[in-house]
Structure 1
Amino acid sequence: MFQENYIEDFGVRIKPRIKHDESCHSVNHTNYAVLAFDENGTKPEKIWARLKDFIGHSGTLDNPEAIYKDLTPPKLTDSELHGTEAIAAVKFKEKEFITW
């Protein structure tokens, strides 16, 4: 388990546990985050942190199963989130656009 993935209110935060470079391995103190909100400051309706939940069995990043099947992200424990391939994917509520 080399990274910890967290679902936050507005997106995903990833905390790699180890920093790799040419000389050694050391503890990583950096967090990476993707946070999203709409024009009113509203958080996303759905948030995915695991790649496999977002793309699904028959999807791809170009056509993720979670989007074309309108799936809800699974409720996961920390141990289910940590150590997996991460993605920061969000979906907002649908909006109707009015044209003049």
Structure 2
Amino acid sequence: MQLDRPTRHALERVIAIAQTDTGQGRICASFLLAWHNPDDNGGFGLTDLWGLDDDTASDCRLLFDWISRYPVYPDELGYGDDMTILWRCWRDQ
């Protein structure tokens, strides 16, 4: 399975934000880590989307739509290292 260009760009923008030590970074990391492994990383509260700016929320909506149609994890798309980095930054406390 491959991501289409707009979805790939949205994912990469969300990953970049998730790597920042900000409120939006925390929300984006939680969103991505819930996709990667919700049992180990915790779920994602949809109301957390209220804490994102419009562009970032739009990227998350695009990703949510894509995820709902394709049973693929981020590591299967080549983003496993990014998920490991996010886990270490946000969950391995």
TM-score, with structure 2 as normaliser? 0.23
Q: Which has the higher helix share?
A: 2
TM-score, with structure 1 as normaliser? 0.22
Q: Which has the higher strand share?
A: 1
